[in-house]
Structure 1
């Protein structure tokens, strides 16, 4: 079956790697997107450095980003650089300084001016031969560049995102990526923000809900070491939420059979007062002895996972077939512009 691609006129909602069963980063289908690794954010004297420096130092962000980039290159994973650059035309003709709060801030502080030192790449994070430098994005969403075409040409289904800033460009791009069907992973210690509250809110609250996992650079690199083999959940693995929070240890792995759906059993303990039966298809990645599910630890206790999942329950969660629905919204139906003309 042909997969819907991001530039289809009316793309069908989908998950591009839906036929895959491995929990790895397939080298031939993964790309690393590094957003705004430039002097204005990362170097002393940069226009925003006094705002970002605390988050950069807290997690040794530049070093972790450098290792992430080098690790991807070593495995043959394409590294894409997504910078910003503004010209006089953007402000005099297009009035971008009037478009949003972040656009106004960048205009007033002369950030990312085309051809300037501030818009250039940090000395430790320079693109190399074989890397791809995208056309500049003009606010937060890197998909509003040539990124969709590049990903399609590369055959990418798994997008790994790092860079600046966690709560703005990284988050906006992740949101667009999941809407277009990509498997999205965020590298938490290879990102920074303008303040610690902004960083913490993004990494612990928002990004875990608009990606499949928020992991560390070390976890990403360790996962790459297993990318050549099929990797599955194993008893004794540590289960982590999409926010990187520890959930527990896998006591049992049960495959689907008969009326029972596949699941992993995490026994009750200090964190959860009852056994937790996590559906196998909620597990998205494996790094070393850690497996990640696409639900944050903060809300795992709210999931209906107190008993082994059944086929009947799964059918109820899936809802009706599209052809069996008369009205999408029960009391009315979706309208189109031609209906109003």
Structure 2
């Protein structure tokens, strides 16, 4: 049976890294999660290989995954492996094949059967003694394993995700991590999927909205190299600005810090991409890699953001909404229906 975290209805929404000083990938609180790097997905002869092979070749995925893992290990970032494994109990007793379309597909194609070659790790992506191998997840969300306990034990706040498949397990886990308050980064060329359309939809549309950045292996490794205060997510004139979808937005012309009634921002001047000057809030910048900085909004929607004028502190206050103590009904005419335990 998969493990579940108890739901706390009184838990406030929070962002775990808010007090960490702005490091892209701070050592001691960053972990790399590698999802389903197994033969059924990655090796010729695997149960799903005929589906995944085109996306694996598209970006030389296995090689990039190796480099991502090696780079993390070299910088002392813990690596967690999140595989799947199914037994007779899962299907005969729990009837997981009735849960969803993907569970049915895995059942019918004998994918990830426990103690099989298919469920074993790809020969070039083997866990080492210092790595953590998680209990198996049974559908798409790796948080439905012992992952939360390990992250809490290690004090992790920044989670980097790579592996298989971009639009299923990687996306589901990213969504859960984001909802639980983690800073989530996806490694785009160290992920694959069952088809190129599925991969492209995940990497360009969905993952940029449920993570802070979708970056390449090279960008991840460059960010790790700056392990000193130079790795602070500062921003300088001349930096290239990218969206969370890795799309290039423009070049920083000016950096303005919060002072008086003005809120901090960077100015990306009008050009071939945007017809008006764009004033991006400083706290939208979440990652630095070399001379690139990433904002946690996709390039595809930057043009629709209210960033056409210099931001003010008054603007920020309006965006924050009313203090919780001043709210009588959450939804104007109604408030939430809360179940309470009765003795």
Do the aligned partners of residues 35 and 339 (structure 1) sit closer, same or farther apart at CA in structure 2, a change above 3 Å counting?
A: closer
- Residue equivalent to 1:98: 98
Q: CA RMSD in A?
A: 1.5
Q: Distance in 1 between matches of 2:118 and 2:80?
A: 19
SS at match of 2:245: coil
Deviations 1:200-254 (A, max 9, x none): 0000000000000000000000000113225211111000000000000001110
Matched residues, number: 336
> Which consecutive residues of structure 2, in runs of 5 or more, have no partner in the other structure?
none
Instruction: Tell me which residue corresponds to 1:284.
Output: 286
TM-score (norm 2): 0.96
Which deviates the most, 84-93 or 222-231? 222-231
In the other structure, the counterpart of 1:167 is 167
Structure 1 residue runs without a partner (length 5+): 1-5
Q: In structure 2, how many angstroms separate the alpha carbons of the residues matched to 1:260 and 1:7? A: 43
Matches within 5 A, 1:143-162: 143-162=143-162
What is the CA-CA distance between 1:12 and the residue it aligns to? Answer: 1.5
Are 1:212 and 1:284, in contact at CA under 8 Å, matched by a contact in 2?
A: yes
Return 220-229 or 175-184, whichever deviates more: 220-229
- Partner residue in 2 for 1:295: 297
Rounded Cα–Cα distance in structure 1 between residues aligned with 2:280 and 2:23? 15
CA contact (8 A) 1:36 1:163 kept: yes
- Does 2:277 align with 1:275? yes
For 1:94 and 1:50, the matched residues in 2 are separated by: 28
Matches of 1:253 and 1:283, distance apart in 2: 12
Sort the Cα spacing of 1:149 and 1:7 in 2 relative to 1 into closer, same or farther, 3 A: farther
Separation in 1, partners of 2:311, 2:6: 37
Match of 2:336 in 1: 334
Partner of 1:134: 134
Q: TM (normalized to structure 1)?
A: 0.96
Given the superposition, is the C-alpha separation of residues 7 and 223 from structure 1 closer, same or farther in structure 2, using an over 3 Å criterion? Answer: farther
Which residue in the other structure is 2:182 paired with? 182
**3-state SS in 1 of match to 2:16:** coil
Structure 1 residue 214 corresponds to structure 2 residue 224: no
Aligned-residue offset at 1:339: 11
The separation in 1 between residues aligned to 2:219 and 2:12, in whole angstroms, is 32
Instruction: Choose 7-16 or 179-188, whichever is displaced more.
Output: 7-16
* Structure-2 residue corresponding to 1:241: 243
Per-residue deviation at 1:52?
Answer: 0.1
